[in-house]
Every structure is written in C-alpha cells, then in structure tokens.
C-alpha cells in the first residue's frame, strides 16, 4: 500500500530580529527535503509572501525583506494562511498587539508557535479566548520557548499533566539575568563584589535589559510562572490578571522606581548597596546564599517570585554558573527527588531552537 506524503508545513514568520534571524538561519539550513515551506517573512514595516514558498537563502532573505514595498497586514495574513493546507504563524516579537490576534489565527485553523510571553501570561480573558479558538479551529498553540528558551520545561510539564502525574511544586531560577547577578553577588563566601557593581557588569555584558530595573522588578519571572501555573489544571484560572496576579518582590529600590534612564539607574544603585549587603550577610551567617526564584506551589495555591535563602549545599547554590536557569519539578512520581532541568535559559540560538522544536512537533 502506498502512502501519500504529508504536505510541508507552511511557515509565516513575524519578527526578524535576534531570535527571528537565528530561527530563519536554522530553518533554511535544514537538509532537503525539509518538512517546512517558508511562505512569509515580516519585519515591523515590510513583508514578503509567496504561498509556493519564498526563494530565499540564509544569505539573501534580508535583502528580500528590505527591498519589499509591501507592509504587514496581519488580518490579511490570517485569511491567506487559512487557505493553505497546513500553516503556522511564528511570532518572534514581544508585541502585545500581535499576541491579541492569536485567537483570530487559531480560529481560522492556523497554528501558532511563539517565544512571546505576552499572550500566555496576560489577562485570563485572552488566555481563555486562545484556548477556545484553538478548539474551534482545531489548531494548536505551542510556546516551549517562553520559559527557559530551548530548555524542555513547558512540554515536560504538559506531558506530566497529560499522563496523570500530580504536580506538587515547581521551583526554579527562571531568569538568566537574576541567575548571573546572584551567582556573582551571593556565594558561600561572605566577601565579594557589591550588588551595584555586579548589576553594572551584567549590563555591560548584555545580560540585563538596557534598563536593569526591567529585570530587577521580577516581572519577567512572574510572566514565566503565570505560563507554567496555567498549565496545571487546578491553577488554570487562579491568576485573573496573569503575571500581575503573581506575588512578586521587586528588587528595585523605591527611590529609583521613577528613574527612566538605565545609565542613571546604575549610577545611583550604589546608594543602596548597604541594604543588599545586609541581606547577603544574614544569609551567609546562616550558611545560605540568596537566589531570586519562582515558585508554583500547587498544593497550597501559591505562585510567587521572591528572593529566597538556600543552603550552600542546595543545587541552586552549587549547580548554577553564569546565566543558567534551573527548574525543579516536585511531583507524585518524581518524589522525594525532583526532576531537574538545567542549562542556558537565554540567548538567540537556544531560543530559536525551542521554536524549532515546536515546529517539528507540528510537522510530524
């Protein structure tokens, strides 16, 4: 009996920045025959589209986009992609406006793959609309790279839930920025650099956002926790405002919350070193280190992002290096020893790899 080969998955990519460029490179470097057909590339201002597949290479795609006179029209893109046999929208942006349109694509039968955290960590209404549209359009949404970049975190949790495991608690260092800062600042030795000096170096190395307060306020960790919590059935509706409903401790001094310049922020941060030093000294005296962690405590219904103390023998103290992420899953099956996922949790190459892994799930 002969089997008809499955048509390639038509891929439309939004966002051609760091992650988008790396994804395009990985996609166009696959050996032939590829399970994917790249049909559209869009920057914020220009777009190219061909339902038969764009004739571009890793060297030529940038000029194809920049020389186009067409502007992106996402409503038209949703309609056009819905006419193709199998199509997926890949959103590499961090745009809330694009995230708000996911239900339109899904309802039309277009799959969505994205590292954009906005849709899955925002309002309950948008999240519910995405679930409803996915069912109505028989289309899937995959977001592995929203938590831990290319690390197998989101799918691992979904597989645990789908297979009937009982999730007790998820805890981890979810921010590469916070990981680097506290790996350098709080060690087994009470000596070491000041908090402000570590933040300044992290900014110079590109580990922080241009304005470090965007990392130190804990919002990025809160978004990741909201995404994971909503994958646990008992917590799916526990965060009505998404990440804003997560109990989050900001490490931004009150006096600096209104400072709009990242440079001014790091220049003034030394004024508050004594406060951070006190926290480090207290932890050190009890044989512990400080780590900024996220916790989804399913049994007690608590989702929080906070600065916590961990013994110097704990994996959060001994296993982390640089800007690594580490996530522990405490479940009925993984007990008393948790399942641990660890590795690079940021960077264009590993984030794009996470997107690619989701694309392969759809293509198979």
The residues that are catalytic are 224
Contact of 319 with 310, CB cutoff 8 Å = no
- Counting Cα atoms < 13 Å in the Cβ hemisphere of 320 gives 37
Cα–Cα distance between 189 and 187 in angstroms, integer? 5
Rounded-to-integer distance, Cα 238 and Cα 226, Å: 9
CA-CA distance, 102 to 96, in Å (whole number)? 10
Q: What is the DSSP letter of 187?
A: -
Phi-psi region of 112 (alpha: psi -120 to 50; beta: other; left: phi over 0): beta
- Rounded Cα distance between 202 and 212, Å, is 9
Q: Which long-range contacts (C-beta less than 8 Å, at least 24 apart) are formed by 282-288?
A: 283/186, 283/309, 284/186, 284/188, 284/189, 284/190, 285/190, 287/311, 287/312, 288/312, 288/317
Whether the CB-CB separation of 6 and 356 falls below 8 Å is answered with no
CA–CA separation, 45 vs 280, rounded Å?
Answer: 47
Would you state the structure tokens that stand for residue 106, as one six-digit string?
Answer: 């899904």
Question: What is the DSSP annotation of 285-340?
Answer: HTTEEEEEEEEEETTTTEEEEEEEEEETTSHHHHT--TTEEEEEEEESSS-SSPEE
Task: Name the one residue in this structure whose structure tokens are 């359009």.
Answer: 137
Token pair belonging to 303: 């989702």
C-alpha count within 13 angstroms, C-beta hemisphere, residue 6: 11
- Beta partners for residue 302, in sequence order: 297
**Residue 133: count of CB within 10 angstroms of its CB:** 20
Residue 316 dihedral angles phi and psi, to the nearest 5°: -65, -20
């Amino acid at each position: 009996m002969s089997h008809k080969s499955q048509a390639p998955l038509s891929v439309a990519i939004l966002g051609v920045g760091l992650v988008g460029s790396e994804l395009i490179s990985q996609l166009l470097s696959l050996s032939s025959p590829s399970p994917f057909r790249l049909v559209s590339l869009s920057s914020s201002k220009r777009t190219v589209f061909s339902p038969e597949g764009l004739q571009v290479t890793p060297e030529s795609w940038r000029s194809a986009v920049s020389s186009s006179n067409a502007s992106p029209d996402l409503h038209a893109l949703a309609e056009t992609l819905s006419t193709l046999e199998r199509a997926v929208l890949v959103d590499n942006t961090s745009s809330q406006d694009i995230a708000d349109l996911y239900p339109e694509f899904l309802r039309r039968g277009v799959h969505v793959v994205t590292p954009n955290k906005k849709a899955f960590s925002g309002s309950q209404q948008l999240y519910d609309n995405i679930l409803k549209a996915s069912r109505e359009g028989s289309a899937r949404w995959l977001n592995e790279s929203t938590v831990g970049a290319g690390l197998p975190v989101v799918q691992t949790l979904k597989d645990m839930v789908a297979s009937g495991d009982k999730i007790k608690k998820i805890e981890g260092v979810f921010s590469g920025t916070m990981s680097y800062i506290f790996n350098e600042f709080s060690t087994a030795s009470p000596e070491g650099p000041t908090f402000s000096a570590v933040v300044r170096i992290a900014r110079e190395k590109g580990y922080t956002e241009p304005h470090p307060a965007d990392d130190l306020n804990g919002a990025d960790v809160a978004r990741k926790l909201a995404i994971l919590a909503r994958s646990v059935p008992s917590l799916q509706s526990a965060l009505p405002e998404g990440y804003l409903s997560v109990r989050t401790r900001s490490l931004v001094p009150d006096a600096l919350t209104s400072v709009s310049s990242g440079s001014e922020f790091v220049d003034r941060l030394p004024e508050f070193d004594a406060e951070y030093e006190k926290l480090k000294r207290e932890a050190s005296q009890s044989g512990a280190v400080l780590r900024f962690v996220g916790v989804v405590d399913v049994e007690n219904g608590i989702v929080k992002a906070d600065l916590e103390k961990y013994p110097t023998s704990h994996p959060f103290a001994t296993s982390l290096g640089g800007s690594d992420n580490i996530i522990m899953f405490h479940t009925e099956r993984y007990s008393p020893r948790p399942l641990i996922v660890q590795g690079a949790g940021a960077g264009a190459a590993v984030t794009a790899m996470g997107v690619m892994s989701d694309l392969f799930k759809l293509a198979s």
